[in-house]
Amino acid sequence: MSYYFSTVLRKTSYEKAIELATSELQKEGFGVLTQIDVKETLKKKIDADFRPYIILGACNPHFAHKTLLAEDKMGVFLPCNVVVEQHDDGSVEVSAVDPHAMMASVTNPKLEELANEAKEKLQKVINEVAGFEQ
């Protein structure tokens, strides 16, 4: 089982991919709570060079609330991360965590349906981003 799903964009800039991912997340009820610029952080903290890579901490408040009511320690898995990264060949990959895989380690039947719903929405985000180039 894969723990993420993704799409590779060949005609879209890194900056545009971040905009697209953020916009599509909003359409599915997710807000971006955090943005971690990995390239900038690694340069500042350890003077290491890294490719453009940002982690968007996305949260759908309805899913978060229901998840925490079902299992209060699930906060360790929140928010759902979406990564936008630029590869050496200039392509840009947008990846999202698979909530079903993320929650598989927790034995709580109430989470199964929530994970499936969140997975469906995040998969739709990735599909819509992929469709931008078609």
Cα(18)–Cα(38) distance, integer angstroms: 14
pLDDT of the residue at 71 = 92
Domain count, the chain: 1
The larger pLDDT score, comparing residue 60 to residue 107, is at: 60
Cα(109)–Cα(79) distance, integer angstroms: 20
Cα(22)–Cα(8) distance, integer angstroms: 16
Mean per-residue pLDDT for 84-105? 94
Cα(61)–Cα(69) distance, integer angstroms: 12
Cα(89)–Cα(51) distance, integer angstroms: 11
pLDDT of the residue at 1 = 59
pLDDT of the residue at 130 = 96
Residue entry with tokens 């034995």: 107
- The domain that holds 32 is classified in CATH as 3.30.310.70
Which domain does 28 fall in, by range?
4-131
Cis peptide before 79 (omega within 30 of 0): yes
The model's pTM: 0.94
Do residues 20 and 131 touch, judged by C-beta distance below 8 A?
no
Sign of CA dihedral 44, 49, 96, 7: positive
Do residues 108 and 118 touch, judged by C-beta distance below 8 A?
no
pLDDT of the residue at 61 = 96
SS3 67: helix
pLDDT at 44 over 70: yes
Cα(2)–Cα(7) distance, integer angstroms: 14
